Chains A and B, each alone.
Chain A
């Protein structure tokens, strides 16, 4: 029997209070006051669906060996690449081997559960081999739209396998139909949607109950047999209707995180599942649904193994690690929704040389360095000649993954001259735990957070975006540890 072996959710650090949005644009569309309660999570300007999937994935893999993974799947409707498989970037950043299966799941916010189902089916077919499903979204709403209010940024990751699962996969049921409540064409940045009443009454209010009834029929279960029902629906009224229609008790319904986070698209069912698993006890039966041009439904049964499972990153903690983004201008600038004058320094050529990237892909993607077999000196990027002046051995290196290690700040600064859409650029020298040094960008922090000697962790981020060639390039940045929530 295969099932969930590990899970993690990732909510980016910034929050935009919905009243901040309303007070800026409510004059234009007063009706959005209906959605103006709470905060929405906002990815930093160096985050996107890929980096948030990696953030969730790397936390999910803590205590496991990424080299055991047989498949890495990535789901998103906001993947940065249409071609150049996004899952490969995620798998590389997680230091998975290259002899694995990877796939992107897209086209609907249902894609998160599609990826999870594919991972479960892979694992079942491969005698319980571990597979990772990561989902993340960074959707944007047009200024003054309901989507601007409810869409949020975040990621989630579920690792499945046959070895001591904390929740066994009992089966699934899917409903697929071309119900076009909203769409985003291949060349569009924003959603276009049909009338909200129709989406509510014929979409959520009908497809979700039908799917739940369908899976109950298929497995001869009653709705009351589930301890938790996890489903996304950002229309509060429709959610109440669905609960009433199905006879769900308040205890059965998993909170949809709309007040603290918002709707994270493809990631949302998995994020809510991760939250449900935080509080789950052995023997509980969970029902997880996605919604998007139909629904997927999955049943899990929580096992004894959950009592010894340590949360990798509690969604609860990720929610708590927050910083208010006090300016809507900042959000709009980060998302390229305003023409920002970045200056001529920011217009310098950024051609990405792919043959070079290929040769150095492990150093770039998983922060792979080398350790000298003669003197033990750890160094980054990988060296052929040992840097230790007392050693100097040639071609006597073994590989070492540094992304998951801690680091310490050696020096730092905050630079107002560097071209960035989020000045000042903060960077400095960082020593890796057990040796090695790298001058790195810092992220998710301000100057006052930093001190020489302080611990940092490494976070996979956007290094630059070459708008001329529509190329996003990724690398690791340092995050001061006090900014990272406790790992449970």
Chain B
């Protein structure tokens, strides 16, 4: 009987590029920036890496298909390099591949990389492409990501009888908090404090989401080097170890898309992945046992419903928790201490690893005082790729040894 990934893999080092509109940089520059930091942190050399995984979503805009781009960019010495794509979970998928490679005993030291160069698209938002296949493109509405996620709000409002005004107030607080946190983060894309009035009155992108309810579309890269706890102890005898406690993926079954039982007010995949991740990590009461979360706030409303899908807020109570400051940096469960997708930015393939980078550095207390989460306990990262009616959710839980 499989017993999961818990405590079988240690994070040896991490790196993350500055996220943003990196007009002058190509994916190779972003990768190198993250790689050099990661390698230094891990305290190893390039030749020590046995295998690599690279997460990337929009291959046609940035790095193309296959593993060659990463291998060529870093000139990796003929080691196995695998490109993985699973929507916004691509970065976490690369991390998962690397962790499984180590846990299986196949390799000692493995690189997990994520990169996305979005600012060569030529227009705002993500490109219009047949992400769910050609037939789906013919049948699906003329939709964009904000429009698909915005519908969580109308469905949530109808389910709990919570007026749209209150939802708008809660999601405004979400974006306000991300800006508060992001402003302190030197690697974040959007580093500016904004008022709740500015957020709330920003022009609509997709009802009820305004401009400030949408995350930044950014260029960036993030990386991890993972190994076994035994090797990590040997290589870093004076450092506390950060261990992987859980790694779960859940993919829509088509029920949300075409069956009538999903009410559209939350994400079934997150609910499934969270349940499995808590079991894997041995967490019984997530609201008390988890001290910080990095969730997929592609849109503020996604963050709101995710608080319930992760069982941290009770059903129908996320707006109250949010407005009470429960998820603020000094709250009980700090959510997006690094500014989240909203302000750190969202280079898709890198985002999962960027979240893990934040949890890792918080657990090791490496940030300046004003950025530190009070009591990180265990940290959870969460990605959601696709749209609410069909998506891929990934969850990673990290903790100290």
Contact = CB atoms under 8 A, between A and B. Distances in A.
A175 interface: no
B134 A353 contact: yes
A439 B258 CA distance: 9
A410 interface: yes
Interface stretch (B32-40, B224-232, B249-257, B331-339): B249-257
A381 B260 contact: no
Contacts of B124: 417
Contact of A439 (B141, B152, B263): B141
Interface of B: 122-125, 127-129, 134-135, 138-144, 146-148, 150-152, 154-155, 157-158, 203-207, 253-255, 257-260, 263-264, 389
A1 interface: no
A383 interface: yes
B150 to A, nearest CB: 4
Interface stretch (A78-86, A309-317, A341-349): A341-349
A185 interface: no
B138 A425 contact: no
Given A356-B135, A410-B264, A429-B264, A416 B128 contact: no
B15 to A, nearest CB: 33
B243 to A, nearest CB: 34
Contacts of B148: 413, 439
A344 B152 CA distance: 28
A435 B259 CA distance: 7
Query: Which of B134, B154, B255, B263 neighbours the largest number of chain A CB atoms within 10 Å of its CB?
Result: B154
Interface in A407-439: 410-420, 424-425, 427-429, 431, 435-439
Nearest to B140: A439
Interface of A: 343-345, 348, 353, 356-357, 360, 363-364, 377, 379-381, 383, 387-389, 410-420, 424-425, 427-429, 431, 435-441, 447, 452-453, 463-464, 473, 475
Given A360-B135, A415-B147, A428 B258 contact: no
A131 B143 CA distance: 38
A464 B138 CA distance: 9
A441 B142 contact: yes
Contacts of A363: 139
A389 B144 CA distance: 29
A420 B139 contact: no
A345 B123 contact: yes
Contacts of A389: 253, 255, 259
Contact of A418 (B139, B147, B257, B259): B147
A337 B155 CA distance: 39
B158 A452 contact: yes
A463 B260 CA distance: 25
Given A411-B151, A415-B147, A475-B139, A435 B260 contact: yes
B154 A428 contact: yes
A388 B259 CA distance: 7
Contact of A436 (B140, B155, B205, B260): B260
Nearest to A357: B138
Given A415-B147, A425-B141, A439-B140, 11 more contacts: A356-B138, A377-B259, A380-B258, A383-B258, A389-B253, A417-B205, A420-B142, A424-B206, A438-B258, A440-B141, A452-B154
Nearest to A364: B138
Nearest to B121: A344
10 contacts: A383-B258, A387-B253, A387-B258, A413-B154, A416-B203, A417-B205, A419-B142, A424-B206, A438-B139, A440-B141
Nearest to A425: B142
B155 A452 contact: yes
B154 A447 contact: no
Contact of A415 (B129, B152, B206, B389): B206
Contacts of A381: 135, 139, 258
Which 9 A/B pairs are nearest by Cβ-Cβ distance?
A: A415-B147, A427-B141, A411-B151, A452-B158, A411-B155, A413-B150, A415-B206, A441-B141, A344-B123
A413 B147 contact: yes
Contacts of A377: 259
Contacts of B135: 356, 360, 381
A412 B257 CA distance: 14
B260 A437 contact: yes
Given A417-B124, A417-B125, A437 B154 contact: no
B139 A419 contact: no
Given A345-B125, A447-B207, A411 B147 contact: no
B259 A437 contact: yes
A369 to B, nearest CB: 9
A380 B135 CA distance: 12
A363 B138 CA distance: 10
Query: Which of A360, A413, A439 neighbours the largest number of chain B CB atoms within 10 Å of its CB?
Result: A413
Contacts of A356: 134-135, 138
A438 B264 CA distance: 12
A383 B143 CA distance: 23
Given A419-B142, A429-B389, A441-B142, A379 B258 contact: yes
Query: Which of A387, A389, A453, A464 neighbours the largest number of chain B CB atoms within 10 Å of its CB?
Result: A387
A475 B136 CA distance: 12
A440 B158 CA distance: 19
A70 B213 CA distance: 55
Nearest to A46: B142
A325 to B, nearest CB: 21
Given A356-B135, A357-B138, A427 B207 contact: no
Contacts of B205: 415-417
A415 B144 contact: yes
A390 to B, nearest CB: 10
A344 B126 CA distance: 12
Contacts of B263: 410
Given A348-B127, A414-B206, A416-B206, A427 B142 contact: yes
Nearest to B158: A452
A419 B255 CA distance: 28
A411 B125 contact: no
